[in-house]
Structures are given as C-alpha cells and as structure tokens.
Amino acid sequence: MNDRILVVHAFFDVFGGAELLTLRFSQALMEQGFNVDLLTATPVDQDRIKGIFGDVKLPRVMVKRVKEVEYLSRLMPGRLMRLRRLVVYRKYLPIVEEAEREYDIVIDTQSNLPTPVDISYIHFRFSILPPLPATRRGGFRWTIYNQLVNLLARNYRTPRSGRVLANSTWTAHMVYRAYGVIPDILYPPVDVQYFNTVAGNTGREKLMVTISRFTLGKKLDGVLEVARELP
C-alpha cells in the first residue's frame, strides 16, 4: 500500500493524552501499510517520547515553526494555548491546501475545530459556549481573551472537515452545540486491562487519584482542594 497520510498536530512541547493519541493513531496507520508524515510547529524529542509513552513507532516528522507562536510562548509560557493553536492552524492553511494534492488523507488531531481537512479529531470544543460569567473564569481578562479567540476562529464556523471525530459522547454533544456537527466517537487509547485490575483491588487505600499532564491549564491545585473536602 502506497497511500500517503499527513497528520497535523501543532504542538509537541508538552506530552499528554492528545499527543499519545496522535502517536498511536499514526502507528496504527503505519502498521496497516500507510506512509504517514507528521506536521508540527515544535521540535519532537523522540527520546523523551519513548521515555514517557514507551516503545512508540514514530512517523516521519516535519517541523514548520511559526514565529508568532514562539513569541507568544516566550511572552506567557504555558498559557494562551487556544490562541497559539489557532495561529498555527491559520498559518498552516496554505500548507494543508497544498498537502491535499500530495496526500491521500489529511488528519488534524489538535486544533479542536472542524478544520478544512479530511478528518478532524476533537478533544474539547474550541469555543466557550455559552460564555461563562467573568467572575467564574479569571475576570474580565478571560472574557476579553475568549472573545478575541472566538473572533479569530469565525472563519472556521462553517465545518469543512470530511469527517469529525470526538473523544467522548460529552465532547460530541459540545461539538454539536458549538458547530452544528454530529461527530463520530473514537475513544482515546487507554490501558483498560490495567485499570480494571487496579479498580478490582478491594484492599486499596482510600486515596484520591488524578491522571493528568502538568500544565497550568489543568489546575491540578484544585485536586487538593477537592480532596480536603472528602471524608
């Protein structure tokens, strides 16, 4: 099989569930005989990936940096993630249009928008709908930021993806509310056998466990606040 597939994933500067899905997704395609390329705006540390995710077969990586995004990253490290992703995908539009002539399938795995590709995989809706009160999400700075991001994303309001995938029924519902698209559901790769074994351990301690990557947006300090209120 000589079919070529391009996977677009803007950032590999942090490693979490979205990155694992992209790599496993690419690996599954390669195992089926497809030629897979990965397009990203950040360098890919293959040794670090294998140290975190284990023995993952990587596709051919193409790094195309975006200067505006690198400036935002230095200005506010760990923040402005939606804005940074949006800038990358807007800059990548001409590349994606050209890729559609070179590749049999183009897949977007991180924009969280129904971008103009063959398949968009959405982990979480890009837009915040309906708007939350400013007092609940960081005050007026959050409100202004959210309005700016939604304004820049308006050209994506008309879905152009050939197919939209979501990571859960909840996400699919939110995507439908935001974009009027009914996605197919493709659950992320999870070691179900391992977690079933752990869940069946009746002798385990009464502990609160969370699984997440360490980034500011995850607000992991809130886990401690919740744990303090539990018996």
pLDDT in tens, 66-98: 998 888 888 777 778 888 888 898 888 889 888
Q: Identify the sign of the CA torsion 167, 172, 177, 179.
A: positive
Q: Measured between alpha carbons, how far is 25 from 27 in angstroms, rounded to an integer?
A: 5
Lowest mean pLDDT, pick from 38-42, 156-160, 193-197 = 156-160
pLDDT (average), residues 103-121: 92
Q: How confident is the model at residue 182 (pLDDT cuts 50, 70, 90)?
A: very high
As a whole number of angstroms, the distance between CA 102 and CA 104 comes to 7
The dihedral region occupied by 220, where left means phi > 0, alpha psi between -120 and 50, and beta the remainder, is: alpha
- Using a pLDDT cut of 90, give the percent of the chain over it: 34
Model-level pTM? 0.80
Report the side by side order of strands in the sheet with 60-63. Answer: 60-63, 35-40, 4-8, 105-108, 119-122, 163-166, 184-185
Whether the predicted pLDDT of 135 surpasses 50? no
Please tell me the CATH superfamily of domain 4-185, with its number. Answer: Glycogen Phosphorylase B; (3.40.50.2000)
pLDDT of 127: 66
Domain boundaries, given as residue ranges, for the chain? 4-185, 194-229
Give the integer Cα–Cα distance in Å for 26 and 215.
Answer: 25
